[in-house]
Amino acid sequence: MNIGKNLKQLRELKELTLEEVGNYIGVKKATVQRYESGEIDIKRTIAIKLAEILGVTPAEIMGWGEEKPTLTSLEQKIIEKYRKTPEMQAAVHKLLGIK
């Protein structure tokens, strides 16, 4: 798994900017972009901080463990909105005939 691509997908799913992530972990936005492009490796301490802001485990950031199917950015946004929005959950349940 491409760690940088994974990081970018997670960041975009949370609708965070490079600058917001950089500020949280204490680096410049250019450094976050370099993590995402694979130019520089992510240290364990940084992976822990990234996991905190992205709401995942460090293992998920680093791609350790089982490979999961990759979702498109749109699919990820839909899933995130579904999880956070009771109205969307109700609409999906109605569409699928789930009570």
pLDDT digits (tens, 9 = 90+) for 7-35: 999 999 899 999 999 999 999 999 999 99
* CA-to-CA separations, 99 to 56, 90, 91, 93, 96, in angstroms, rounded: 30, 9, 11, 7, 9
State percent of the chain over pLDDT 90: 43
Name the least confident of 19-33, 44-58, 59-73, 78-92.
59-73
The residue that leads in pLDDT, 63 or 80, is 80
Q: Model's pTM, two decimal places?
A: 0.63
Sorting pLDDT into bands at 50, 70 and 90, what band is 79? confident
Does the pLDDT at position 70 exceed 80? no
State percent of the chain over pLDDT 70: 93
Q: DSSP string covering 25-89, please?
A: HTS-HHHHHHHHHTSSPPPHHHHHHHHHHHTS-HHHHHT-SS--PPPPHHHHHHHHHHHH-HHHH
Domains and CATH numbers, the chain: 1-66 (1.10.260.40), 69-99 (no CATH)
